[in-house]
Structure 1
Amino acid sequence: MVGTAARSCRATRTGLLLALSATLMLAACGHKNPYYDPAKPHHTPEGFRNNYLDRKPDGLLKWQWQRITQGLPKPPANNYAFPIVRPDVVALHANKTDTTATWIGHATVLLQVQGTNVLTDPIWSKRASPLSFMGPKRHVPPPMDMNELPHIDVVLISHNHYDHLDRATVEQLNKQDGGPPLFLVPLGIKPWLNDLGITNVKELDWWESASQGSLNFHLVPVQHWSARSLTDRQETLWGGWTMHTNKDTATPFSVFFAGDTGFSKDFEDIATRFGSFDLALIPIGAYAPRWFMQTQHVDPADAVKIHQTIKSAYSIGVHWGTFEMADESLDEPPLALAEARKKAGVADQAFVALKHGETVRFDKNGAVIP
């Protein structure tokens, strides 16, 4: 029975792969970029491109065929028994002055800085997919319900992939008590949000900025891509985010959120522009196989290089342990991160992988409180 079920599953996946191939071959190239500025090299008449990668990420069909034939991804050694820390919901609601970072899971982090609550790439759904019955499923539940969140002031979206821009989550955030948050998004995502009735949106191009309260945000270039269907690849922009307190504040603090990215010279450009960061949220998962993922997803060794390049005082590894997005097991990234730190001479406490729901607090000088 097990063998029959496995063969049936492989046959289904093979059929889906063939359908995907046919759709990609039939996809038209008639999209016109309404934001096109020929003076900006990352703009194209059809959409956008990376600064330091001439080609679009490719090899999807080959990778999916390997997954079918090799039975990937491999399950984690811990059998999905990840430890979960219950956040102190009362303290998060009451906090108006302390700087904190709480890892919800995947690329979702709740940041509290000078009384402003910021949420990165929020997803509470059970699947990172347009379908409720298919696509990457959540293996670790959110450590807190959405209705337990403090009032969210700003939502940062890095790009439009389903594991970073979740429709059900942003719709619920838009209906929160006390009014909707400000959604900061890359070019091209605002119309999609507007169609959902989400109107408190500001979209930015690379290096453009926006402010909320005492915080200043910049959309910065990273090496990735966008797509929400089989035919709209790179039609909307992607990027990372920086967040800085006002220069005249008595307790300055800075954050870099990478979103999704491969390693590129973009991080040298970011360091040149901003100098250093108190906190960085850097992906460490969804990196295998390297022949396919290298241009779009860093592995832990590359993540450590980002940490060093942007001169981050303290980094948190995100984008792991929640959804199976690649071929490595869900519990592998923290182990690989420990090896990468050691090889690079980075202190263990300078770049960490938190437990789901764990909160880190920072003192008035931007240092982590033990």
Structure 2
Amino acid sequence: MTQRHEPARPTTTAPDARPTARDDGPHPPLAAPRPLAERRVWPRTFHDRLTAPLPGLKAFARFAREGAVRPGPEGLAGIPDLPYAPGPVPDVDARTLAVTWAGHASWVVRIGGLTVLTDPVWSRRILGTPARVTPVGVAWEALPRVDAVVISHNHYDHLDAPTLRRLPRDTPVFAPAGLGRWFRRRRFTRVTELDWWEASELGGVRFDFVPAHHWSKRTLTDTCRSLWGGWVLTAPDGRRVHFAGDTGYGHWFSRIGRRYPGIDLTLMPIGAYDPRWWLADVHCDPEEAVRAAQDLGARHMAPMHWGTFVLSAEPVLEPLTRVRAAWEAAGLPRDRLWDLPIGGSRLLEPG
């Protein structure tokens, strides 16, 4: 994928966020946390943050001729073998970091005594996509009290209105720049919008919004009107979880790793990548996901964004087999690949 630097950033953004010709040296100190639920004015568009241009008419014409959006019968035959092992969300104390995969990009993250949901999608169907092929791994009624929600971007498989309506309207929400109005229209009262490299704090846990190689769109007229990205959650004891959201592979991973050293776990997308010519700019394939985890310097990687919704043409089980092979080929310790079943949990004990 062609890499290029962003044009000059709008004045509403963090002052140290603009890449320089060489971004290899030490970064300035992390930005001071911004106030929770701060009302802000954002640019009308975030097109300047795109890593690569969005598909044009020629790409759509090619897709109409040869593109496949779903796997064939052989690729779908693996659906009964998709790993699904629902279990209870583990009881933990404030010193234990734990994650439970509910499916797709939805995680229950226990960090610093908080319970945080990432991109919560508990619906059976989302707009424009067949029904989920594996059930949700954690029953909504079995969730601990939700202390916060983080959203990576506004695509329907990451921002699900029916699921979010289940939450109390005073639930703290951390959202990309420009997406706050969507939540406020739905009467959420504690919405914190952040630009790349900005942060806020809740209960001693720091929430940093970081770049991703993706885009945003929810209606016919709102392309790139809100930002997209991932999150770095830092516990009071310094342990870190990176939630990549939805992203292609590229230069941002190494920059995130340098800026946030010591990432203990990255939650990394590995699916929805075929056909490659169509999706390479916005979705990692399994080999790129492993490379991204290495760029981040993450100690552990937990794959996600596969095995839940059939969004593209690769066989449904292929992401898992390929990520395991790529992890082994990279010479990484097997126990640091947390290839969980949907509903599975892992704990990272202190120390």
**TM bracket (short chain):** 0.7 to 0.9
**C-alpha deviation, 1:127, in angstroms:** 1.4
Structure 1: state its 5+ residue gaps: 1-33, 366-370
2:219 is aligned with 1:207: no
What is the rounded CA distance, in whole Å, between the counterparts of 1:85 and 1:337 in structure 2? 20
**C-alpha deviation, 1:66, in angstroms:** 3.2
Query: Which AA in structure 2 matches 1:78?
Result: G
RMSD between aligned alpha carbons?
Answer: 2.6
2:89 is aligned with 1:85: no
Q: How does 1:60-209 map to 2 (within 5 A)?
A: 60=60, 62-63=62-63, 65-67=65-67, 72-74=70-72, 75-89=75-89, 91-92=90-91, 95=93, 97-129=95-127, 134-174=128-168, 180-209=170-199
Q: How does 1:44-63 map to 2 (within 5 A)?
A: 46-49=44-47, 51=49, 53-58=51-56, 59-60=59-60, 62-63=62-63
Corresponding residue of 1:5: none
What is the rounded CA distance, in whole Å, between the counterparts of 2:105 and 2:79 in structure 1? 22
Corresponding residue of 2:38: none
What is the rounded CA distance, in whole Å, between the counterparts of 1:287 and 1:142 in structure 2? 22
> CA 1:60–1:259 in structure 2 vs 1: closer, same or farther (change >3 Å)?
farther
Q: Is the 8 A contact 2:101 2:340 kept in 1?
A: yes
**C-alpha deviation, 1:343, in angstroms:** 2.4
* Other structure's SS at 2:303 match: strand
Query: Which AA in structure 1 matches 2:113?
Result: G
**C-alpha deviation, 1:83, in angstroms:** 3.5
Instruction: Indicate which of 232, 235, 243 corresponds to 2:222.
Output: 232
2:212 is aligned with 1:222: yes
Query: Which AA in structure 2 matches 1:79?
Result: I
**C-alpha deviation, 1:210, in angstroms:** 0.6
What is the rounded CA distance, in whole Å, between the counterparts of 1:86 and 1:38 in structure 2? 41
Higher relative contact order (CA 8 A, sep 6+): 2
Q: Is the 8 A contact 1:36 1:47 kept in 2?
A: no
2:351 is aligned with 1:351: no
* Other structure's SS at 1:255 match: strand
Q: Is the 8 A contact 2:240 2:263 kept in 1?
A: yes
Q: Is the 8 A contact 1:52 1:264 kept in 2?
A: no
> CA 1:203–1:214 in structure 2 vs 1: closer, same or farther (change >3 Å)?
same
Kindly, what percent of the aligned residue pairs are identical?
34
Superposed CA offset, 1:220-273 (max 9, x none): 111100000122111110011001123xx3xx3111110011111111211121
TM-score using structure 1 length: 0.79
Q: How does 1:284-295 map to 2 (within 5 A)?
A: 284-295=270-281
How many residues align? The count is: 316
2:267 is aligned with 1:281: yes
> CA 1:181–1:38 in structure 2 vs 1: closer, same or farther (change >3 Å)?
closer
Query: Which AA in structure 2 matches 1:263?
Result: Y
Q: Is the 8 A contact 2:14 2:196 kept in 1?
A: no
What is the rounded CA distance, in whole Å, between the counterparts of 1:221 and 1:206 in structure 2? 6
**C-alpha deviation, 1:214, in angstroms:** 1.7
Q: Which one has the largest radius of gyration? A: 1
Q: Is the 8 A contact 1:256 1:280 kept in 2?
A: yes
What is the rounded CA distance, in whole Å, between the counterparts of 2:11 and 2:211 in structure 1? 16
TM-score using structure 2 length: 0.83
What is the rounded CA distance, in whole Å, between the counterparts of 2:203 and 2:65 in structure 1? 49
Query: Which AA in structure 1 matches 2:84?
Result: I
Query: Which AA in structure 2 matches 1:188?
Result: G
**C-alpha deviation, 1:60, in angstroms:** 4.7
Deviating above 6 A after TM superposition, structure 1's stretches of 4 or more consecutive aligned residues are 34-42
Query: Which AA in structure 1 matches 2:97?
Result: T
* Other structure's SS at 2:206 match: strand
Structure 2: state its 5+ residue gaps: 1-9, 20-41
Corresponding residue of 2:350: 364
* Other structure's SS at 2:302 match: strand
Q: Is the 8 A contact 1:240 1:258 kept in 2?
A: yes
Corresponding residue of 2:39: none
Q: Is the 8 A contact 2:176 2:194 kept in 1?
A: yes
Name the structure with the higher helix share: 1
Superposed CA offset, 1:192-231 (max 9, x none): 1111111211000111101011210110111100000122
What is the rounded CA distance, in whole Å, between the counterparts of 1:82 and 1:308 in structure 2? 26
* Other structure's SS at 1:282 match: strand
What is the rounded CA distance, in whole Å, between the counterparts of 1:38 and 1:340 in structure 2? 36
The answer to which of 57-66 and 104-113 deviates more is 57-66
Q: Is the 8 A contact 2:247 2:282 kept in 1?
A: yes
**C-alpha deviation, 1:339, in angstroms:** 1.9
**C-alpha deviation, 1:279, in angstroms:** 0.7
2:339 is aligned with 1:341: no
> CA 1:125–1:256 in structure 2 vs 1: closer, same or farther (change >3 Å)?
same
